[in-house]
Amino acid sequence: MRVAMLAAAAALVLASAAAPADEQAGPSSSSPTSQPDAAALARLAKTPDNSWLDLKPEGMAKARMYSGCAFGGGYLWYFGGAHRGYKGNDVQLYDPTTNVWIQATEPEWPEIGSEDWKLMTGGGGTTKHLSPTGRPFTEHTYQQVCWQPDRKRFFVVLMSSGTWEFDPAGRKWIHLISKFKNDKPEPRGTWAQNLVVYDPGLAAPVMVLTSGDNSVYRFDHAKAEWVRLAETPQGIRWNETYSTWVPEWNAHLMSGAKKGFYKFELPGCKVTPIEAPEALKGCQSLAYDCANRVVIALARAKVSDREQTVQPWALNVATMKWTELNPPKPWPQGQCTANWGKLWYDAAHNVHLFVNDVRRDRAEVFDGGVTETWAYRYATPRSAQKTAPNGKPEAGEG
């Protein structure tokens, strides 16, 4: 590992000596620009209805294959990699008010050639140790991260090291359950079969396993443990799923790679199939628009042998009618466009933020690929609502 990285790690350990061992702060040099960018905000505000806007932010994020985003606290979160995609364990946060990708933590990786290096780069990231600063090494995340509005932290489920939170204000990781210290194994499915969401009805993170023990769990923060709610319904097992919360239903809209769309209600784990157009089969990016009460879902379409693009569809959650949208071009286009949960709604600016994976081939295969950051506006609402009709928090943030 690089000498400079070890020196930085040592400095960080000294700086955080007073902090608990399982609560590691990010480097102070990562502080974002505090002042909003008036020009960027004006440009965002002027985005026409049913249109894409290439944001071209400062400090573009690195592409992390098989890893998704999450939105909350005004930030779009990005972490993940491994499997010949990206080696760094850094967290990047996109701030739409400044149009900047913030380097919230500095990247670390295992010593090249070590067992952890081989485990991380040869597969999804099942490393057996934490980094020198006590943070997790990178791995695939799919949709295994959610925003907790009550705790104002991202909730992160990792296969390698356990259950975490990330505090975007303090730029720090908090280890809730350590796989290396906990004698009782945590519930997990295989890589893509772990879906993690925040459920406003339960006011807690929920994990849906469609493999493994095929169960649904709620995380109990008071006890720092997973509590089993029910068995995963038979119809959605062995399925890679992505979802968004729909407050009018008091339920989640889920899209399965093999099973289509369905309404998922907790705590009873009731599943109701929902008809959807063939174009949306296997949709991996969808987000609820609380201002217009629609779900925007991205259909992927092949452009060439190496590229695909996306076309948005809108689901009216009251009438259950899907509408194909045809925004003016250019549209986002790339090698892995719209894979792995890259669309998230920003209620403050009434846009859907989208990370576009343009390509993954760089000079160094583990250095991450090229991304773009886009915004999509469905419509300008007559009156944007801040709360759901049932008085529960909107899921526009995670």
Q: What is the pLDDT of residues 173-202, one digit of tens each?
A: 999 999 999 888 899 999 899 999 999 999
Average confidence (pLDDT) over 22-29: 49
The answer to whether the CB of 183 falls within 8 A of the CB of 225 is no
The answer to whether the CB of 377 falls within 8 A of the CB of 48 is yes
Compare 361 and 190 and report the one with higher pLDDT: 190
DSSP type of residue 86: B
Specify the pairing of strand 251-256 against strand 260-265. Answer: antiparallel
Q: How far apart are the first and last CA of the chain?
A: 35
DSSP type of residue 148: E
> Nearest CA to 34 among 102, 88, 82, 84?
102
Share of the chain above pLDDT 70, in %: 86
Provide the CB-side half-sphere exposure for 98 (13 A, CA). 18
pLDDT confidence band for 386 (50 / 70 / 90)? very low
**Tokens representing residue 317 in the block:** 């959650």
Distance between alpha carbon 123 and the CA centroid of its chain, in Å?
Answer: 20
Share of the chain above pLDDT 90, in %: 78
What is d(CA 374, CA 343) in angstroms, rounded to the nearest whole number?
Answer: 9
Predicted pLDDT at 84: 82
What is d(CA 131, CA 316) in angstroms, rounded to the nearest whole number?
Answer: 45
Predicted pLDDT at 3: 35
> Nearest CA to 299 among 323, 317, 320?
323
The answer to whether the CB of 170 falls within 8 A of the CB of 113 is no
pLDDT confidence band for 6 (50 / 70 / 90)? very low
Predicted pLDDT at 17: 34
Residue 385 has pLDDT above 70, yes or no: no
Annotation: CATH topology of 3-377: Neuraminidase (2.120.10)
**Segment among 183-192, 245-254, 303-312, 376-385 with least mean pLDDT:** 376-385
Average confidence (pLDDT) over 322-337: 97
pLDDT confidence band for 8 (50 / 70 / 90)? very low
Mean pLDDT of the chain: 89
Residue 327 has pLDDT above 80, yes or no: yes
3-class DSSP state of 43: helix
What residue segments make up the domains of the chain, in order of their start?
Answer: 3-377
Residue 301 has pLDDT above 50, yes or no: yes
DSSP type of residue 224: T
What is d(CA 27, CA 32) in angstroms, rounded to the nearest whole number?
Answer: 12
